[in-house]
Chain A
């Protein structure tokens, strides 16, 4: 009941603000953007050109103060196309340095998800292990928060603080201790509190350092035995770019470290009828580092559109858990071929040669190796619009 009242209050406030704001500054402005990509994957056993997706992004500037953003995605997975609401977020610019946002939003947890890992910001056709689907942290959250940025002399800061429904703990035998980060409905009264603070020390904004943290004290259904299992997540990120004059090139280096710690709990054992339980130290971490170089200062128009990129990533999952790192292409858990037990440490190395057709359109050719997964060649066309 409380929730319903809060929702009605929020919607009423937003509608009232919208009407007031419209009176101040006139017509609504709309931009429909989006992105599309098609990916071919080749390894020793297959050559698949089947992976395609399309996203439409709706941006409404309702007034100087009010802004709405939403994204709808259609992607091919397995044998069918999936249609999903990525996010839908209402933003009220409270003042110069503070914006209030409410809805289903992309949290600034680290810098990869929602920013450097997106479309043409990502120089690779894949995500680092532990940072894509099945990795640590939420791609989207439902809730509200405050965000903004401000200058301090030669430096800048930005921040995002949010209160959200938080992740749902999975206590099923097969996925014990994993989370559904993006459920549409909450499973308890507890809320997750998270945020990120970013610091840009140099006046030319070439370096950004970030620290993120999220805490959910309760993650399971409020009537479950596991209702008090909490989770804490942190991320440290860095992004650097610089023009190197003597090489006539632009260098990019970025990376991120993420960690997740979950309270202990005795989970059921798969295929067991005796009532035995499984307990393990449920801590995971993941990191990646990437570097790319593009001869942006070259006089040759073809040469300056090439970019060479290298990335290394590693994902460590709990020892003894019935799950492990996820193979993004095969959509399966990576296991030891002898014991068939999920691997608790997986690393991935990717090298890519990109060609920029436009500022928002590129072709990515990549070679990737990953622990206990066959080496792959990717060819991807990506267009943001």
Chain B
């Protein structure tokens, strides 16, 4: 029983520490494409670099990820602009 309580305490305090370091700092609308690229791609996988695809292909991938990962239209527009080297 003691062990379980200690384990729960560790999990709760660890979770609290992790979540407190994720505190909101900036409105989504104010973010740059580079910021959004780093944050949103990494939710599921490593973020690919700009040279992985052509400019046209980034447009297609942007739409695909908007649908697949549920990123907003504004985020998609900024991320694609960044990956196409337009920011």
Q: Could you list which residues of chain A lie within 8 angstroms of chain B, going by C-beta atoms? A: 29-31, 59-61, 67, 69, 91, 93, 96-97, 99, 101, 108, 114-116, 120-121, 147-151, 153-156, 158-160, 198, 201-208, 239-242, 250-251, 356, 359-360
B contact residues around A29 at 8 Å (CB): 56-57, 59-60
Closest-CB distance, B18 to chain A (whole angstroms): 6
A contact residues around B73 at 8 Å (CB): 93, 96-97, 148-149
**Nearest-CB residue, chain B, relative to A206:** B22
Cα separation A241 to B24 with both chains bound (whole Å): 15
A contact residues around B21 at 8 Å (CB): 242
Q: Could you list which residues of chain B lie within 8 angstroms of chain A, going by C-beta atoms? A: 18-19, 21-29, 31, 39-40, 42-49, 52-53, 56-57, 59-61, 63-64, 66-75
In the complex, are the beta carbons of A67 and B63 less than 8 A apart? yes
A contact residues around B45 at 8 Å (CB): 120-121, 359-360
B contact residues around A99 at 8 Å (CB): 66-67
B contact residues around A150 at 8 Å (CB): 72
In the complex, are the beta carbons of B56 and A121 less than 8 A apart? no
| Extra 15 A-B pairs, beta carbons < 8 Å, given A61-B63, A205-B39 | A29-B59, A31-B53, A31-B61, A59-B64, A96-B73, A121-B44, A121-B45, A150-B72, A151-B74, A155-B24, A158-B71, A204-B24, A206-B43, A241-B43, A359-B48
Which of A97, A120, A208 sits near B43, CB closer than 8 Å?
A: A208
Chain A interface helix/strand/loop/mixed? strand
A contact residues around B64 at 8 Å (CB): 59, 67, 69
B contact residues around A61 at 8 Å (CB): 59-60, 63
Closest-CB distance, B71 to chain A (whole angstroms): 6
B contact residues around A69 at 8 Å (CB): 64, 67
**Nearest-CB residue, chain A, relative to B58:** A31
Cα separation A359 to B44 with both chains bound (whole Å): 12
B contact residues around A241 at 8 Å (CB): 42-43
B contact residues around A201 at 8 Å (CB): 24
Selected A-B contacts with CB under 8 Å, 24 pairs: A59-B63, A93-B73, A96-B73, A115-B44, A121-B45, A148-B72, A149-B70, A149-B75, A151-B27, A151-B74, A154-B27, A154-B28, A155-B24, A156-B72, A158-B70, A158-B72, A203-B24, A203-B27, A207-B19, A207-B22, A240-B18, A250-B42, A359-B47, A360-B45
A202-B22 in contact given A121-B45, A156-B28 (Cβ < 8 Å): yes
In the complex, are the beta carbons of B71 and A149 less than 8 A apart? yes
Closest-CB distance, B60 to chain A (whole angstroms): 4
In the complex, are the beta carbons of B25 and A204 less than 8 A apart? yes
Cα separation A114 to B31 with both chains bound (whole Å): 28
**Nearest-CB residue, chain B, relative to A153:** B27
Closest-CB distance, A64 to chain B (whole angstroms): 9
Which of B19, B29, B40, B67 sits near A91, CB closer than 8 Å?
A: B67
B contact residues around A251 at 8 Å (CB): 18
**Nearest-CB residue, chain A, relative to B23:** A202
